[in-house]
Amino acid sequence: MPAGTLETVKERTDVVDLIGAKVQLRQTGRSFKGLCPFHTEKTPSFVVYPESQSYHCFGCGKTGDIFTYIMDTENLDFRDALKLLADRAGVQLESQMQQRRDPERDREREGLVDLNERAAAFFSNVLWTSPSASEARAVLERRGVDRRTAERFGIGYAPDSFDALKGHFLSRDVTEAELVAAGLLTRREEDGRTWDRFRNRITFPIRNREGKAVGFGARAMGDANPKYLNTAETPIFNKRSLLYALDKAYDAVRRLRSIVIVEGYMDAFAAHQFGFENVVASMGTALTPTQVSSIRRYVDRVYLALDSDAAGQLATLRGIDSMRESFADDERVEVLPGNLVRFERTLGAEIRVVLLPHGKDPDDYIRADPANWPAALDSSIPLVEYFLTHSLSGIDDSPTARARALQDDAVPILREIGDPVVLSHYIAMTARLLRFRDTEVHAAVLRGPSRRRENRSPASAAVSERPSAHDPERYLVTLLLRYPLAALDQIAGIDREDVLDTRHRLIIEGLASTSGEIEIALAGLDEEIAAYARSLLSESELRGTTFPLATSREIPVAIQRLAQTRYESRLRHVQSELQAAQQAGDVAAVTENIQRMNLLAERKQSFAPRESPYFRDIRSAVN
């Protein structure tokens, strides 16, 4: 099982040591406590548990393990947090990963990158030196392309020839097969003939986050179709996981905590030329969870700046549509509009739509006056607002049409909004657009979509005991992985504070941002996490034969059980603190722990609304 590195890092890192390096911790019984690093406080409510290698703050509710701690305090994504902790623990992350990887596959990928880099150099050389590229140079000049920026981006020109690149490489000991594999030559099935894929086009090398050339986007010079041609899928070129110019934008994205996604390579290029460095271009698929997974940690805001000429108004919607489709590219299921809003929520960042004046794309718009750009971002509108105004305006005035629009278009979106304040804002907006009363919209949201839903009430029935369920968190995640479609409806009911293991959190986020397609969810995860998820799945398959009764219906029960487990252990902790405070006659600490009990009691309401025989009434326990 290839979960090695991560496990080794976990084993070699003591959570008390790690946190104790920054936070003064004092031992109390089997746990340690100190002032919370995540919120400001005068008396310690941050508790570190060496046994479970986790922490919990009774003040602000932050929980997690060593990885979450580093991700949150150092503002890093999982991969970088793993690197930092591996370094600290003296674990050779790179070499272990290399060993685990197929060295042959690595060589193949390196070879493909190398060919793409050499092709980029070839195209660039043609662009700036060849007489055949004079028209291309003129086009770039007319468009105001600055040579220095163009060279930095490696812009080039593919000559109007079927064998310019092919001839260049064949004379340098590269084989046709290698060029086909790199996506640089096209091969005809019938007779095996090959020719240059890119001809008479301006070429944009597409680089991964690390800045390695993995393929090309190429723009037609004239009216040739398609206007943009990309490298075909290769082992290193996957449109759905790439964003053009992310390597150049990466630092600015982290610094500004925002990213702007435009449609065209020229749009991204123009932005960078004028110093707007957090701009990237989508690869024709608008936005996928996989693309965003590498930056989600670093952004609070994602701007979608899409063309808005006559066709572009549609393109904006299409952009969003294809974004939704990309959740489910391979399974072709109908994607509900609410998924996008759900995606926004799991992304943990606000998605805003930038509407440019009629007929303008970002390239024109920035070049006309660079000061336009910040202004356009400032006047962007939130995704939900954009969605509601587009789908609800122009609805027939008939009561039936308005009721259907409410039920089919608005409710699925509104139901995905987590924050009650935000929700009431959009309920009012929907009511205004459809000429209903707020209360009517609210009632529709509470009723939910018209389609029959799976019975989602988390059965107040007794929680079944399974030998496989010793760790309720792991058990829950395994169930979610086994029933990803059923999981979609249930994930919102999981309190993230109850999930302590970073791996489990990332898997849950990954599942939440897809349409229930497990492979898509796994593809968006770091490889260690994906490997771990697969190991949970295969274990569960082994167990499935012994416990065939475990079905998706157990998901709500497992969520509830996890909530109970966390609740009980937190309650035990507070009770013992309270006891100690009473014995010491520490009035302030007594008051504080009683407050914590009340907070816990409130949270208990959310997963166990009714009085249950399994719980003592904690309010009476206090008195």
Half-sphere exposure of 315 (CA within 13 A, CB side): 22
Q: Show the DSSP H helices in 258-379 as ranges.
A: 265-273, 289-293, 310-325, 338-347, 362-368, 372-378
- Cα distance between residue 1 and residue 366, in whole Å: 51
Kindly tell me which of 60 and 463 has the beta carbon lying closer to Zn ion: 60
Q: Interior CA angle at 198 toward 143 and 316, to 5°? A: 55
Kindly tell me which of 38 and 195 has the beta carbon lying closer to Zn ion: 38
Q: Taking CB under 5 A as the criterion, which residues in 562-591 touch Zn ion?
A: none
Size of the site for Zn ion (CB under 5 A): 6
Kindly tell me which of 74 and 141 has the beta carbon lying closer to Zn ion: 74
Q: Which two tokens stand for residue 511?
A: 């599942």
Q: x/- site string to Zn ion, residues 98 to 117, per CB under 5 A?
A: --------------------
Kindly tell me which of 57 and 555 has the beta carbon lying closer to Zn ion: 57
- Work out how close the CB of 547 gets to Zn ion at its nearest, in angstroms, rounded to a whole number: 39
Nearest to 283 by CA among 322, 317, 309, 314: 322
- Work out how close the CB of 506 gets to Zn ion at its nearest, in angstroms, rounded to a whole number: 22
Buried b (16+ CB within 10 A) or exposed e, 399-433: eeebeebbbebbbbbbbbbeeeeebeebbebbbeb
- Work out how close the CB of 40 gets to Zn ion at its nearest, in angstroms, rounded to a whole number: 9
| % helix, strand, coil for the chain, step of 5 | 55, 10, 35
Kindly tell me which of 18 and 315 has the beta carbon lying closer to Zn ion: 18
Angstrom distances, CA of residue 594 to CA of 33, 177, 611: 18, 72, 20
Kindly tell me which of 38 and 162 has the beta carbon lying closer to Zn ion: 38
- Work out how close the CB of 33 gets to Zn ion at its nearest, in angstroms, rounded to a whole number: 11
Kindly tell me which of 32 and 169 has the beta carbon lying closer to Zn ion: 32
- Work out how close the CB of 48 gets to Zn ion at its nearest, in angstroms, rounded to a whole number: 12
- Work out how close the CB of 473 gets to Zn ion at its nearest, in angstroms, rounded to a whole number: 21
Kindly tell me which of 35 and 403 has the beta carbon lying closer to Zn ion: 35
Angstrom distances, CA of residue 300 to CA of 293, 297, 524, 533: 13, 8, 19, 27
- Work out how close the CB of 62 gets to Zn ion at its nearest, in angstroms, rounded to a whole number: 5
Kindly tell me which of 2 and 37 has the beta carbon lying closer to Zn ion: 37
- Work out how close the CB of 551 gets to Zn ion at its nearest, in angstroms, rounded to a whole number: 38
- Work out how close the CB of 36 gets to Zn ion at its nearest, in angstroms, rounded to a whole number: 3
- Work out how close the CB of 57 gets to Zn ion at its nearest, in angstroms, rounded to a whole number: 3
- 484 upstream amide cis, omega within 30 of 0: no
- Work out how close the CB of 613 gets to Zn ion at its nearest, in angstroms, rounded to a whole number: 33
Q: Write the DSSP assignment of 414-469 as a string of letters.
A: HTT---HHHHHHHHHHHHHHHT--HHHHHHHHHH--SSPPP--S---SPPPP-GGG
Kindly tell me which of 62 and 201 has the beta carbon lying closer to Zn ion: 62
Nearest to 63 by CA among 559, 569, 615: 569
- The dihedral over CA atoms of 372, 375, 379, 381, expressed in degrees to the nearest 10, equals 80
Half-sphere exposure of 262 (CA within 13 A, CB side): 30
- Cα distance between residue 211 and residue 249, in whole Å: 11
Kindly tell me which of 117 and 495 has the beta carbon lying closer to Zn ion: 495
Q: Taking CB under 5 A as the criterion, which residues in 2-61 touch Zn ion?
A: 36, 38-39, 57, 59-60
- Cα distance between residue 516 and residue 494, in whole Å: 16
Kindly tell me which of 63 and 540 has the beta carbon lying closer to Zn ion: 63
Q: Taking CB under 5 A as the criterion, which residues in 57-96 touch Zn ion?
A: 57, 59-60
Give the burial class of 128: count Cβ atoms within 10 A of its Cβ; 0-12 exposed, 13-18 middle, 19 or more buried.
middle
Nearest to 123 by CA among 186, 132, 451, 353: 132
Angstrom distances, CA of residue 532 to CA of 5, 396, 474: 11, 51, 11
- Between helix 93-100 and helix 4-12 the angle, nearest 10°, is 150
- Cα distance between residue 261 and residue 306, in whole Å: 8
- Work out how close the CB of 491 gets to Zn ion at its nearest, in angstroms, rounded to a whole number: 24
- Would you tell me which residues interact with Zn ion (CB under 5 A)? 36, 38-39, 57, 59-60
